[in-house]
Amino acid sequence: MAYEHLKLANEEGILWITINRPDKLNALNGAVIGELDRAFTEAAEDDAVLGVALTGAGDRAFVAGADIAELNTLGPEAAREFALRGQEVFNRIERMTRPVVAAVNGYALGGGCELAMACHMRVASSNAVFGQPEVKLGLIPGFAGSQRLPRLVGKGRALEILLSGRNVPADEAERMGLVNRVVEPVELTGAVVDLLKSILRNGPVAVGHCLEAVNYGLDMAFDDGCLLEATLFALCASGEEMKEGTAAFLEKRKPDFRRN
């Protein structure tokens, strides 16, 4: 089934998912969220997908936020369901065992900032702008922005952003740890590809277990997180990937993980 609001392209194992509503600054509505759910579900089951890059069409916005026209029609029950649905899909993105990088071009506000934060890493163009302006609409974030933002930048900074609704330029977002790096707009695609390729050269099983250890361990007590890490370490030691990696090191050659 074709996508109405997304464009997908697999380039050497990197699946580019582009939200394609440039006339609406790629705003999220129920239909877009549903297509994101399908795209990431299919990506997780596709052996040809080694990593994912997520971006927005055009250079004005990654995702400028939720579709306000749709929000305006929601009553309390529908609003709760809309928030829970978005959280479900964004959690699916975060729990991918293949790396997901957001290529943030322009505005990443409200739901757009929340979507970027659900990705494992964020590379931003120098013209990117982040923010959670929901309080200006008499709302709070609905797609886990109040939960992911303090985990990334700390409680004090997160509360300042959430309560003021102010925009955060790319260079400040980098300093506070909201994005991994900032590049010039013309360099954004290349920087994301380089980052993903640097990850994909490593053992795919190990990369997946690293993602699991961090994603689940952050919500555990420290000792429980360490136990999870030890268990995943043991799983790595039981596979052919570890044998290839250690043998390559001892033989002073590059490992070939893809043959396992």
Give the residue numbers marked as catalytic.
114, 134
**Contact indicator for 65, 33 with CB cutoff of 8 Å:** no
Distance CA 153, CA 151 (A): 6
Strand order through the sheet with 168-169: 61-63, 107-109, 129-131, 168-169
Helix (H, G, I), strand (E, B) or coil at 70: helix
Cα–Cα distance, 105 to 55 (Å, whole number): 7
Asked if residues 14 and 190 have their Cβ atoms less than 8 Å apart, the reply is no
Strand, coil or helix: what is 121?
strand
Give the strand pairing for 61-63 and 6-11: unpaired
